[in-house]
Amino acid sequence: MAARLGRILGPVLIVVWTVVPLLWLLSLSLKGGDHINDGRFWPTSPTLHNYRTVFRTDLFTSALRNSIGISLIATVLSVALATLAAYAIARLDFPGKKLILSVALAIAMFPTISLVGPLFDIWRSVGLYDTWPGLVIPYLSFTLPLSIWTLAAFFREIPWEMEQAAQVDGATPWQAFRKVIVPLAAPGVFTAAILTFFFAWNDFVFGISLTSTGRARTVPAALAFFTGASQFEQPTAAIAAAAVVVTIPVVAIVLAFQRRIVAGLTSGAVKG
Amino acid sequence: MTAEPQPAFIRRHIRADERRNGAGGERVRAERRLGWMLCAPALTVMVGVTAYPLLRAVWLSLYSYRLTDPAGKHFVGLRNYAVVLTDHLWWSDVLTTVVITAVTVAVELVVGFAFATVMHRIVFGRRLIRTSILVPYGIITVVAAFGWRYAFALDTGFVDHVFGLGHFAWFGHRSSALAVIILAEIWKTTPFISLLLLAGLAQVPAELLEAAEVDGATKAQRLFRVTLPSMKAAIMVALLFRTLDAYRIFDTVFVTTNGANGTETVSFLAYRQTITRTALGLGSAVSVLLFASVVLIAAVFVKGFGVDLARARGER
């Protein structure tokens, strides 16, 4: 009986645990100006006023543009570079393979804040401070390790003999690659892309340190400098609304691709 | 990583190739060249953005240098390190960081294991549970931190009201402020640890558990004698990654307390010195010390506990 109860209660507890903080942000974002300090969990008279404020604030709209642009560029570049490296690691025999994987692992553990001071100094002298490439470059180097590990693990599982088999059956090399290898490799590449996007979308350390204006400031950094509709208004509800807006893509991606994300996070984590 | 043993006919082929083309063989050399060419761009970006700035941080840490006073830059040797290491604030920040790391990781390991067990056994709603557990993982740390801050704040919060705590100022005391920060971290990162542990659970041989049950082992015995030992690799990897990650904590502290009331962490100190105060010399010394402590933690895990990372991460 107790085991049965646990089997039902366990999942319920997990969902409550993950969802309550989200619901709180959502409900806060729907509270009107007078109700923001009422100490209740649910809004008494929900309003979309805060969302209108947020989308009329340049600071937020430019940050949203920057976040989307920078994260997408970083994702595409990171996955492209990681695919080349992971293919070599999984398929070719060459000395230094272990070195590359070790370097990647070391960088994955690097305390990013240690680099912020020198990068701040270097970026200012080479003109990368407060620009899109100024953020894309650090995002690349910190997402490449995870991408390379994930992709190498995926590529090792691909039955590459099928490429030759297809060619024996009369396919051209390009057809064999396009029709056989690409469909097999795509899930891995896609998984790496999602994880990379999450990293770039989530970053705060580089976002606040290497930007200063709406030119390149991303959403997490902008939120920390947010003031409401007027300088004298507490920005609480507006921040909550902005928080909900930037959480929507995350929830959408998780809903659509949960299996791939789980596969990527645990790829090879326990093999051997 | 050792090369996979090749079938004899391939080895013979390579040897014949070597005889024809001298040491290495043309094909072998071409493969090496291609391997390096494909890895070069990724390696360049990874090393370029970390190694060079790190060396520069080491170099800057030997100078007295404030960005607002470039002319006053001068060599001071190790004096910045002496200043940091003899300052009460540094040790207080180290203590705060260690407390956050230890409590967070310990609680996460237990909660994460409970979550993993639930996910492992679940029959219906598997998809829903995995989806909901991934949301905290994917959500922006800063966004989640704002949620927790507003939930516990005196003005906007609901926690005091709903739980009848009167007007308790959560962020007014060191211990309660740290408790909120730790809670926020645990909420955000338990999914990661529980997914790693779930993958570990899947590796526990079912026959072993059945055999133990047949032999009359109790539930606790099965957990501590069979399940946990067979998951050792997964547990150690999860521990290592989460410990290093927790030790770098920055975002949550920035948003919830901004380092006030003794909640400043080492990362926050480094940020405040380099970016806010633009004291690049002193700040770099803090950064280098932070880097050194991360290396130390990793070394303890790898050497002390024998975490075989290459193996654990799927390298054969």
Per residue in A25-37, pLDDT tens?
A: 999 999 877 777 8
User: Residue A20's domain spans which residues?
Assistant: 1-47
Considering only CA atoms, give the Rg of chain B. Answer: 26
For residue B294, list chain A residues with Cβ-Cβ distance below 8 A: 109-111
Please choose, from the candidates A182, A110, A186, A192, the residue with its C-alpha nearest in 3D space to the C-alpha of residue A149. Answer: A192
| Gap from A30 CA to chain B (nearest CA, Å) | 13
* Minimum CA–CA partner of B27 in chain A: A93
User: Are the Cβ atoms of A144 and B45 closer than 8 angstroms?
Assistant: yes
> Does residue A256 sit at the B interface (CB-CB below 8 Å)?
no
Residue A123, pLDDT score = 93
Regarding whether A132 and A2 lie in a shared domain, the answer is no
Please choose, from the candidates B191, B59, B3, B202, the residue with its C-alpha nearest in 3D space to the C-alpha of residue A15. Answer: B191
d(CA B107, CA B19): 61
What ranges in B61-125 are assigned the alpha helix state H?
79-85, 88-121
Q: Which residues of chain A have pLDDT under 70?
A: 1-3, 6, 227-234, 267-272
Chain B interface mutation, best of A22, A25, A78, A94, highest count of B Cβ atoms under 10 Å: A94
Domain count, chain A: 2
Task: Establish if A2 belongs to a structural domain.
Answer: yes
What ranges in A158-209 are assigned the alpha helix state H?
161-168, 173-176, 182-202, 205-209
List per-residue pLDDT tens for chain B, 316 residues long: 444 455 555 555 555 555 555 555 788 888 888 889 999 999 999 998 899 999 999 999 998 888 888 888 889 889 999 999 999 999 999 999 999 999 999 999 999 999 999 888 887 788 888 888 889 988 999 999 999 999 998 888 888 888 888 888 899 899 999 999 999 999 999 988 998 888 888 888 888 888 898 888 888 888 888 888 888 888 888 888 899 999 999 999 999 998 888 899 999 999 999 888 888 899 999 999 999 999 999 888 888 776 665 554 444 3
Regarding whether A199 and A168 lie in a shared domain, the answer is yes
> Does residue B27 sit at the A interface (CB-CB below 8 Å)?
no
Regarding whether A135 and A37 lie in a shared domain, the answer is no
Q: Count the neighbouring beta carbons within 10 Å of the beta carbon of residue B121.
A: 13
d(CA A77, CA A140): 7
Chain B interface mutation, best of A195, A219, A270, A271, highest count of B Cβ atoms under 10 Å: A270
For residue A87, list chain B residues with Cβ-Cβ distance below 8 A: 38
Instruction: Identify which of B49, B137, B187 has the shortest CB distance to residue A21.
Output: B187
Residue A149, pLDDT score = 86
Residue A257, pLDDT score = 86
Regarding whether A138 and A33 lie in a shared domain, the answer is no
For residue A96, list chain B residues with Cβ-Cβ distance below 8 A: 35-36, 39
Distance of CA A22 to the CA centre of its chain: 18
- C-alpha distances in angstroms, B221 versus B60, B102, B211? 55, 27, 12
Sequence-separated (6 or more) residues with CB below 8 Å from residue B10: none
Task: Establish if A271 belongs to a structural domain.
Answer: no
Instruction: Work out how many CB contacts closer than 8 A connect A with B.
Output: 325
Residue A231, pLDDT score = 56
User: Are the Cβ atoms of B250 and A104 closer than 8 angstroms?
Assistant: no
**CB within 8 Å of chain A, chain B residues 88-107:** none
Residue B7, pLDDT score = 53
d(CA B163, CA B179): 16
Task: Establish if A52 belongs to a structural domain.
Answer: no
**CB within 8 Å of chain B, chain A residues 15-34:** 15, 17-19, 21-22, 24-25, 28
User: Are the Cβ atoms of B150 and A28 closer than 8 angstroms?
Assistant: yes
Task: Establish if A219 belongs to a structural domain.
Answer: yes
Q: Which CATH number fits domain B80-312: 1.10.3720.10, 1.10.10.1100, 2.60.40.4070, 1.10.287.3510?
A: 1.10.3720.10
d(CA A264, CA B309): 17
User: Are the Cβ atoms of B315 and A268 closer than 8 angstroms?
Assistant: yes
Regarding whether A101 and A61 lie in a shared domain, the answer is yes
Q: Which long-range contacts (CB under 8 A, 24 or more apart) does B34-40 make?
A: B34/A88, B34/A92, B34/A94, B35/A88, B35/A89, B35/A92, B35/A93, B35/A94, B35/A96, B35/A97, B36/A88, B36/A94, B36/A96, B38/A84, B38/A85, B38/A87, B38/A88, B38/A92, B39/A84, B39/A85, B39/A88, B39/A89, B39/A96, B39/A100
d(CA B155, CA B167): 9
Regarding whether A42 and A67 lie in a shared domain, the answer is no
What pTM value is reported for the model? 0.87
Task: Establish if A270 belongs to a structural domain.
Answer: no
Regarding whether A88 and A17 lie in a shared domain, the answer is no
User: Are the Cβ atoms of A118 and B60 closer than 8 angstroms?
Assistant: yes
> Does residue B274 sit at the A interface (CB-CB below 8 Å)?
yes
d(CA B95, CA A2): 41
For residue B143, list chain A residues with Cβ-Cβ distance below 8 A: 25, 220, 223, 243, 246-247
Q: Token pair for residue B252?
A: 């949550």
Tens digits of residue pLDDT in A169-183: 888 878 888 888 888
| Gap from B219 CA to chain A (nearest CA, Å) | 12
Whether residue B227 contacts residue B163, with contact meaning beta carbons closer than 8 Å, is answered with no
Whether residue A134 contacts residue A210, with contact meaning beta carbons closer than 8 Å, is answered with yes
* Minimum CA–CA partner of B4 in chain A: A93
Please choose, from the candidates B182, B312, B143, the residue with its C-alpha nearest in 3D space to the C-alpha of residue A63. Answer: B143
Q: What residue type is assigned to position B169 of the chain? A: A
Regarding whether A111 and A21 lie in a shared domain, the answer is no
d(CA B111, CA B136): 14
Instruction: Identify which of A40, A96, A112 has the shortest CB distance to residue B248.
Output: A112
Question: Around A261, how many Cα atoms within 13 Å sit in the side-chain half-sphere?
Answer: 28
Regarding whether A156 and A37 lie in a shared domain, the answer is no
d(CA B172, CA B166): 14
Task: Establish if A7 belongs to a structural domain.
Answer: yes
Task: Establish if A211 belongs to a structural domain.
Answer: yes
CATH at residue A212: 1.10.3720.10
Regarding whether A172 and A89 lie in a shared domain, the answer is yes
Whether residue A79 contacts residue A189, with contact meaning beta carbons closer than 8 Å, is answered with yes
> Does residue A212 sit at the B interface (CB-CB below 8 Å)?
no
Task: Establish if A260 belongs to a structural domain.
Answer: yes
Q: Token pair for residue A247?
A: 């959480």
d(CA B7, CA B4): 9
**Domain boundaries defined on chain B:** 8-60, 80-312
Whether residue B238 contacts residue B291, with contact meaning beta carbons closer than 8 Å, is answered with no
Question: Is the ipTM value over 0.90, yes or no?
Answer: no
Most distant CA atoms of chain B, gap in Å:
87
Regarding whether A184 and A124 lie in a shared domain, the answer is yes
Residue A272, pLDDT score = 30
> Does residue B298 sit at the A interface (CB-CB below 8 Å)?
yes
- C-alpha distances in angstroms, B261 versus B176, B253, B256? 10, 11, 11
> Does residue B32 sit at the A interface (CB-CB below 8 Å)?
yes
Regarding whether A199 and A77 lie in a shared domain, the answer is yes
